[in-house]
Structures are given as structure tokens and as C-alpha cells.
Amino acid sequence: MNASFDVAVVGGGPSGAIAALRMAQLGHRVCLVEKSRFPRRHLGESLTPGVLPMLASIGAAHGVTIGAARVESVSVHWEREATQRRDPGARGWLVDRGVFDAALLTHARAAGVVVCQPAAARRASPHEDGWVLELDTLHGATRIDARFLMDAGGRGSRICVREFSGARVHTGPRTFAIHGYFRGKNLPTQPSLEAIENAWCWGVPIPDGSYNALAFVDADSLRDRSASTETKLIALLRPSSIGSAIANAALDGPARVVDATASIHACPVGLNWLRVGDAAMTLDPLSSSGVQKAIQSALAGAIVANTLLRHPEDRALTIRFYEEHLSAASSRHARWAAQHYSVAAERFSHKFWRDRSAALDEVNEPIPPREPVSASSELRVSAAATWRDVPCLGAERVELRRAMDHPGFDGPAAFLGEVELAPLFELVPPRFTLTEVAARWTARIPASRALAIAQRLWERGVFEPT
């Protein structure tokens, strides 16, 4: 196949499929290249509650939970006492990634994306009008031309092109996941999270009846070359309840080791290319939100790519936005992960926990939320709140919006809960109560949301007593 496209996406996981889908919805001719046949097993079988609403917003939720199971509770033994974290709404899901990923590709095809699978992207070469992508397919070598290239090939992407050069920067201690799929009787039916002396463990029941048991460790725990990967996995899990659960189960396939280090790519975007998903940034696996972050990255990346293609006058602004967007997300998550590791570090003195909680010393602590304020208390806007224009994601392009700088936020805030702040603050008088300012905002947003935003601004110190 020798064909021309506006956009070529390399990688058919969640980030690649959603990036391709959104670019097609924005009116581009899109080709997606995936080297593996689907269905395939893949880590990241748990979907956090935010995944389905995001997919529904772009018409891609149908069929993705076929055969999936709802998460009603998670067994957690992180602090000194074990607990059950229950979700009465059972909003999370456990999915077969083979089914889930294939469903996303089906949505991409339905949107007009041309899918080349299985096909390996051997090389991407720039030319005057874009890129030549050389592919190895079942029918031999072929090539496609594209104006824009999106790398969704994961942390180990090997697209060979000078413009894609640059290093991955670790944003957390080196971490590896050693895992295997087990089959047996009486395996757990809900996920388990557990901290042990030199690692943390995660157990996930898979809809096909298997159970994925993982241990997240540092490199020192894997140095024994005389022991097999299976032996290491069993030994690491043995002190945990997950180890007890699989004691009479058998491995269904080989045990594997994968890099799970949090990282960010030093060179995530250029004039006619960008990275999305794990190719751009990986988060500490403690969040268990890899699929959600991949989809968020793809949705943002599609808007960035669309802006670079259709609004070349805004290229510098758009590139700066994407770089800062990734950096801010990485920093926020590093702080979150370090805070959670520090809790387990109070139980265990092992270097594994000290290294991961030490990151707290490298980030600024956010201002803690205030206690609720009386609805009749007179307030004003803090003098520390200032405004400036910053690039933000719009519906189809990156554009400048007024944003607030204040110590209560991690960075400039143009939106809260998808509501733009600047138009609301045009309606704020010098002195007011929460009830009064929320009433003014109901001309633009629902009353319940108006009051929630007003309370959030009080909690963060943007509103203060007169």
C-alpha cells in the first residue's frame, strides 16, 4: 500500500486509537499502524471511573466493557491496618485488554481511520511536505506518506528518525513490575493492593478467569541471575495476601519483567510530529490509572496536532503549551505518588520506600484546603490572585485564555471543573458571600456547580475574609 494521509499514528493501544479517532473526527485523513495482532494480553486491565465518561464524550464507549467486571471494592493493606475501599456505584471496571483495545480500534475504523495491522513501522523519514513511513507488513515492505506523525508506540518506541531523538528523563526511582497470570480455584474476585517490606503488590482478577499478580520492585530485587523470573515473582509475593491467594494456582504463561519507571520524554513535540501516551510520559504505576492517562494524553495530543496542522501561526505557542502541559502533569503526579509512598515508609524502613518518599523533598507542598465557611461570611478576592493569558486546550485548537495565578493552585488556572474562570470573575463584586457570588454565576452555569466552584475557591484561598 502506497498512500498519502494527513496523519500517521504509530501504535494501536488506547492512546494511539483515541488519537487517530479524534484526528479523523476533526476532519483529517488518518492511518494507524499497529505491529501486533489483536486480541493481545496487556498490562493495565483496571479502568478508573473517569475512563468511560471520556470515551462517551467522543462516541467511543460502546462495546469497550464487553465481558468486563465492575469493581465494587478494593482490598488495601497500605497502612498498618488492612481496609476495604468500597465504591457503592461500582464505577471502575476490570477489562480484558485484548477486547478493550480491539473495541477502541473498531471505533477508530468506524470514524474513517485506515488501520494497518499487523504492520511494523521500520523507519520514519522527513521530507519537504511531511513524512515517509516505511512499513513491514505480511505482504512485504510498503510505505505511506503523511503530513503529520504521531508516536503512540509506548515507552519503548523505536521509530528511527533524527527529529525524534532525545532522552527519556526519569521522574522517579527506577521501578520494575514483575508479574504473571495465574489460574486456579478460589482466586480473589476483586483487586488487592498491598505494601510489603521491599515492594508493593497488586492483584487483578481478569474477566477470562485468570488472575494477574504483580510486584513492583527496585533493580536490587531482580539481581539474582541464578533464579528464574517465576521463582523471583513467587518469592516476592509470598509475604503478601496476594501470595497466599495464588499459592495453589498455576502460572498461565511465562512470568515477565517490564520497566515501570515514571518518566517524561525530553523531546515530546515538534512542528509536524508529537508523542502521546507512554511515548510522551509514564506515571508511577501506583495510580493504577494508566489507561485513563493514555486517553487524556491522546485527547490533548489530537488538539495540539490539529492546531499545528491548521494554524501554523500558533506553532510556537502550541509547542510550548504541550511541553508545559506534560511537565505539569508529571510534577503533580510525582508529588501525589511520593505522598502515598511516605505513608508506607512509616511502616517499612527499606530503601525501596525511602527512595520513593524522598521525592517529597523535591516538590512544593500545596496549600491545605480550608475548613468550610459560613454562607453569611463576607469575603473578597485575595490580593495574591493575578491574571495572565496562557495557552489552553480549546474544543479544536490550542488558544490563549485568561488564567489565574494563585498559591492555592499548582499552576495558572483557566478552568475549574471545565468551567472557565475569567468570565465568572467579571461578575464578582468587591465584597460578597458565597451565596451571593454563586447566585450571580447562575446566569452562566447551573446553581449547584456555581456554589461548588465558589466553595472550591474559598478552600484554596482565592476567596478570603474581608
Could you report the per-residue pLDDT of 180-225, keeping only the tens digit for each? 999 999 999 999 999 999 999 999 999 999 999 999 999 999 988 8
Residue 160 has pLDDT above 70, yes or no: no
**CATH no. for residue 36?**
3.50.50.60
Give the mean pLDDT of 89-114: 94
The answer to whether residues 221 and 134 belong to one domain is no
Q: What's residue 44's pLDDT?
A: 86
CB 160 within 8 A of CB 122: yes
The answer to whether residues 310 and 391 belong to one domain is no
Residue 363 covered by a domain? no
CB 370 within 8 A of CB 459: yes
Q: Look at residues 259, 281, 304 and tell me which one is the last residue of a structural domain.
A: 259
Residue 372 covered by a domain? no
User: Which is more confidently placed, 42 or 326?
Assistant: 326
The answer to whether residues 285 and 300 belong to one domain is yes
Q: Look at residues 322, 342, 367 and tell me which one is the last residue of a structural domain.
A: 322
Q: What's residue 157's pLDDT?
A: 82
In single-letter form, the type of residue at position 74 comes to V
The answer to whether residues 52 and 135 belong to one domain is yes
Residue 430 covered by a domain? yes
**CATH no. for residue 237?**
3.30.9.100
Band of pLDDT at residue 363, cut at 50, 70 and 90: very low
Other residues' Cβ atoms within 10 Å of the Cβ of residue 342: 16
Q: What's residue 223's pLDDT?
A: 87
Residue 334 covered by a domain? no
Distance between CA atoms of 458 and 441, rounded to whole angstroms? 15
Band of pLDDT at residue 375, cut at 50, 70 and 90: confident
Q: What's residue 158's pLDDT?
A: 73
Q: What's residue 163's pLDDT?
A: 57
Residue 167 has pLDDT above 90, yes or no: no
Residue 360 has pLDDT above 80, yes or no: no
User: Which is more confidently placed, 24 or 364?
Assistant: 24
Residue 454 has pLDDT above 70, yes or no: yes
| Residue numbers of the domain that contains 133 | 2-69+93-168+266-322
Residue 348 covered by a domain? no
Band of pLDDT at residue 165, cut at 50, 70 and 90: low
CB 148 within 8 A of CB 190: no
Give the tens place of pLDDT for each residue, 266-307: 999 999 999 999 999 999 999 888 899 999 999 999 999 999
The answer to whether residues 139 and 156 belong to one domain is yes
Domain count, the chain: 3
Residue 355 covered by a domain? no
Tell me the pLDDT of the chain averaged across its residues: 92
Give the mean pLDDT of 301-321: 96
The answer to whether residues 281 and 235 belong to one domain is no
Beta bridge mates, 215: 178, 201
Cis peptide, bond prior to residue 429, ω within 30 of zero = no
The answer to whether residues 119 and 155 belong to one domain is yes
Q: Percent of the chain beyond pLDDT 90?
A: 81
Q: Percent of the chain beyond pLDDT 70?
A: 96
The Cα-based distances of 275 to 159, 279, 338 in angstroms read: 11, 6, 26
Cis peptide, bond prior to residue 118, ω within 30 of zero = yes
Residue 31 covered by a domain? yes
| DSSP state at residue 341 | H
The answer to whether residues 61 and 185 belong to one domain is no
The answer to whether residues 286 and 253 belong to one domain is no
Q: Look at residues 322, 344, 360 and tell me which one is the last residue of a structural domain.
A: 322
Give the mean pLDDT of 242-246: 95
Relative to beta strand 140-151, strand 130-137 is antiparallel
Distance between CA atoms of 34 and 55, rounded to whole angstroms? 21
The answer to whether residues 236 and 296 belong to one domain is no
The answer to whether residues 146 and 277 belong to one domain is yes
Q: What's residue 361's pLDDT?
A: 56
The answer to whether residues 309 and 160 belong to one domain is yes
CB 276 within 8 A of CB 154: no
C-alpha cell at 359: 521525592
Other residues' Cβ atoms within 10 Å of the Cβ of residue 140: 7
Give the tens place of pLDDT for each residue, 104-157: 999 999 999 999 999 999 889 898 889 999 999 988 899 999 999 999 999 888
Residue 23 covered by a domain? yes
Provide the CA 396 distance to its chain's centre, in angstroms: 21
Band of pLDDT at residue 161, cut at 50, 70 and 90: low
